[in-house]
A and B are shown apart, each in its own frame.
Chain A
């Protein structure tokens, strides 16, 4: 069974730009969650999608948004990038009440 895939793996953007990250969950998984990982902050929950609907949302500004498609693939968008958005963005699939399977992440650097 293929694991969670995320593209791209690395991104460099400048302040003010926007970025879209993609995540393909494990086949059969309908839940996709997104996290921001930074040193010292751990993993901070962004949002969770289930069957194309946002089911949970963390405490991030509206510049962070996401969506899920009918094939369960998910995208995350960050608009008007700030320096503080530099982080590893992780996607996880699986049940939200049980084990989550993580992808390798997308390393975003904002200059």
Chain B
């Protein structure tokens, strides 16, 4: 069965530190890849997505992610985090198995210390 792994469950960083959150998926075929963010008290919202083309995608609020097909990875990065980036981050894969179905990772809670 397809799955998405986020190995970092909790991350604590100081402001201005660099961020990289890991995401690996298990599916050998074509996938669409997403990162969603859930700020405290807010809805889940899309950070960025990858369908095809340039494997380095840029999203909102200075986030970017790199798709490495050979590693089945789609890691999220930000060069300098801010206190307002404190949130839970979810990686998701969309598998076109007849009809599309989203598979989410378990999430990474990021706390940024001011």
Contacts and interface: CB of A to CB of B under 8 A. Distances in A.
Interface residues of B, number: 23
Contacts of B102: 33, 45, 96, 100
B61 interface: no
A27 to B, nearest CB: 17
Report whether over half of chain B's contact residues are helix, strand or loop; otherwise say mixed.
Answer: strand
Given A45-B101, A56-B101, A102 B32 contact: no
Nearest to B32: A97
Contacts of B45: 102
B96 A97 contact: yes
Given A35-B104, A99-B34, A102-B45, A43 B96 contact: no
A42 B106 contact: yes
A40 B88 CA distance: 12
Interface residues of A, number: 26
Interface in A50-98: 55-56, 58, 90, 92, 95-98
Contact of A45 (B90, B96, B99, B103): B103
A100 B94 CA distance: 11
Contacts of A35: 104
A90 B36 CA distance: 14
Residue among A3, A44, A95, A97 with max Cβ neighbours from chain B (10 Å): A97
A50 to B, nearest CB: 8
Given A56-B99, A97-B100, A102-B43, A42 B90 contact: yes
Contacts of A3: 43
B14 to A, nearest CB: 25
Given A48-B101, A56-B100, A102-B44, 13 more contacts: A40-B9, A42-B6, A43-B44, A43-B107, A56-B99, A56-B101, A96-B100, A96-B102, A98-B32, A99-B46, A100-B46, A102-B36, A105-B43
Interface of B: 6, 9, 32, 34, 36, 43-46, 49, 90, 92, 94, 96, 99-107
The 4 closest A-B pairs by CB, nearest first: A42-B106, A43-B104, A102-B44, A97-B100
